[in-house]
Structures are given as C-alpha cells and as structure tokens.
Amino acid sequence: MAKNRAWIIGASQSLGAHFATRMAAEGWAVTGLGRRPAAEAGLPAEVTYVQADLSVPETLDGLAEKLGDVPELVVYNAVRYPAQSEGPPPLGELEAVFRVNALAPYRLLLDLLGRPREHFCSCVVVNSDAMYHAREQNGVYSASKAALRVLTGTLAATCRGGDAAVSTLLVGPLADPQKLAGLRRVAEQRGVTEAEVVRAFLRKTNTNLVIDALIDFESCYQGLMHMARLGPVANGMMYRLDGGSSGGLV
Ligand SMILES: NC(=O)c1ccc[n+]([C@@H]2O[C@H](COP(=O)([O-])OP(=O)(O)OC[C@H]3O[C@@H](n4cnc5c(N)ncnc54)[C@H](OP(=O)(O)O)[C@@H]3O)[C@@H](O)[C@H]2O)c1
C-alpha cells in the first residue's frame, strides 16, 4: 500500500524535527524543509530533506511543484524570530520575519491548493499564543503571527466544501531544547527543581496562561494528528494547546 505523504516546512530542529521524525516512524513518507544544510538537520535518513531559505522571495517561485505531488498533509511550522539589534530593526529584517512567518505559508499553500489532486489534503499551520499579545519585546513577532492567522482564515475560506482543509495548531511556550537548557541552568544555580523554575518562569512571562509546565512536543504531535484525522471538519479550526482560557480569566 502506498504511504501517506507529508511535508513539514521548518523541519530541521525542535518541534518540526519532532513532527518529521515521529511521522516517519509512523510510516509516513516525509519531506522536511529547513534552511540549514541536510547534514546539520539530524533527521532520520528516511526523511527527504530540502534545503531552502524562505526569506528569499525567489524561493517561493515553483516551490510547491519542487516539493513533489500534493501530499495528504502539509505542516507549516517554520518561524523566524526577529534578530535582536540595537536601535530600530532594519527594514530588511522586518520584511524577512513577515516573509517567513506569514507570506511564505500563504503563498505556498495557495499554490498547493490550486493544484489538481485526487485525494484530500490537510494543511496545518503552527501559530503562537503570541498572536494575541503585542508586548514591548515581541511586537514584530506577534504582528507576523497575527497576519498569519488572518491569512490562514482566508485560505480556509477557499477550501470551503472542497477537498482540502486549512487549520491552525496554536501553541504556547514549548519545551524546546534551548529553553529547557536555560531553565535547567537557572535551577542548578538556585538549587531548586526544574519544575519550580518552569512554574516561576510561566507565571512571570505568560500571565495570561493557566499552565504550570511547558507544552511538550508529543502533545503538539497528537494535536496535529487529531486535526489531520478530522478531514474536512478541521477546515478553519484552531486547536489551542497553550494553557490559554480564550479570554475567560484575563
Ligand atoms: N518555541 C516556542 O516556545 C513557541 C511558542 C509558541 C509557538 N511556537 C511556534 O512553534 C513553531 C516552531 O517553533 P520553534 O521555536 O520550534 O522554532 P525553531 O526552533 O526556531 O525552528 C524553526 C524552524 O523553521 C526553519 N526556518 C527558519 N527560518 C527559515 C527560513 N528562512 N527558511 C527555511 N526555514 C526556516 C528553521 O530552519 P533552520 O533552523 O535550519 O534555519 C527551523 O527548522 C513556530 O511556528 C513558532 O512560532 C513556538
């Protein structure tokens, strides 16, 4: 029997690498895209890796065709966090952030959904709780994710009653290796448990959330698979995995 195919855009580390690795282990034919060279991605050999820089406008031309036939599942997980700089951020950096976080997924999925196919295609866009909060330090990132949310909605509108679904996996602070390493260092310095440091971190940095632990990758993967299994019912839906209370406690 032919394998189900998946594209994971932003697969070279962290959450995207977890998705690609898990899906390959579950028997999916996975194509992962990242910016770094294949040798630095550390993905299993059965994942087909494509190196491309989504911040370069020309990359998008024909990318949907280059990645192969329309798959059963597409996950847009890539993100560019704005580079920290002294003074106002250069315009080029702002453009690159919006390109990777909002314009590239819109254009890629628009191209993909315009192609003929004989099977259902689920598209899941990874978004962030940050889209609701423009804080001093993360306004550009938040704005790019809010733009992504609006564009995802318009893509879902084009799929209405059709053979594809576009949905959002909205996550909160992830248990990513970099964050975990930083929190572990703090716990060691203070002589307290990691769980205590995580709790204090979340209460300080995410006052709008009601979670005491970071969101683990496997829960994100289970949410992703749930949306993929729902098929057309998932169109336009948002699977929120962030400890948010939809405003009820804010
Ligand atoms: N981390 C969190 O706490 C958190 C919280 C809420 C939501 N999220 C969302 O969860 C998703 C994953 O976040 P993450 O923190 O795991 O991200 P990450 O570790 O920074 O990984 C981002 C991925 O996107 C790829 N990427 C970045 N710029 C690219 C470019 N110009 N061209 C091609 N690929 C590019 C990276 O490839 P290279 O590394 O090879 O450049 C990498 O594979 C994102 O959508 C993010 O907004 C994360």
Q: Is the dihedral of CA 10, 15, 17, 21 positive or negative?
A: negative
Pocket lining: 82 vs ligand 1, CB cutoff 6 Å: no
In the predicted model, what is the mean pLDDT of the chain? 95
Pocket lining: 51 vs ligand 1, CB cutoff 6 Å: no
| C-alpha of residue 227 to centroid of ligand 1, in Å | 20
Atom nearest to 215 CA in ligand 1: 3
Whether 98 and 147 share a structural domain: yes
Pocket lining: 64 vs ligand 1, CB cutoff 6 Å: no
| C-alpha of residue 147 to centroid of ligand 1, in Å | 17
Of 32-36, 89-93, 135-139, which has the strongest mean pLDDT? 32-36
pLDDT at residue 85, as a whole number: 82
Assess whether pLDDT exceeds 80 at residue 145.
Answer: yes
* Average pLDDT of the residues in 117-143: 93
Tokens 């909605």 label which residue?
153
Assess whether pLDDT exceeds 70 at residue 191.
Answer: yes
Residue 118 · residue 72 · CB < 8 Å? no
Whether 34 and 58 share a structural domain: yes
Number of domains in the chain: 2
Whether 200 and 85 share a structural domain: no
| C-alpha of residue 20 to centroid of ligand 1, in Å | 13
Residue 246 lies in a domain: no
pLDDT at residue 247, as a whole number: 56
pLDDT at residue 248, as a whole number: 56
pLDDT at residue 250, as a whole number: 45
Total count of residues recorded for the chain: 250
Whether 36 and 47 share a structural domain: yes
Distance (Å, whole) CA 182 – CA 60: 35
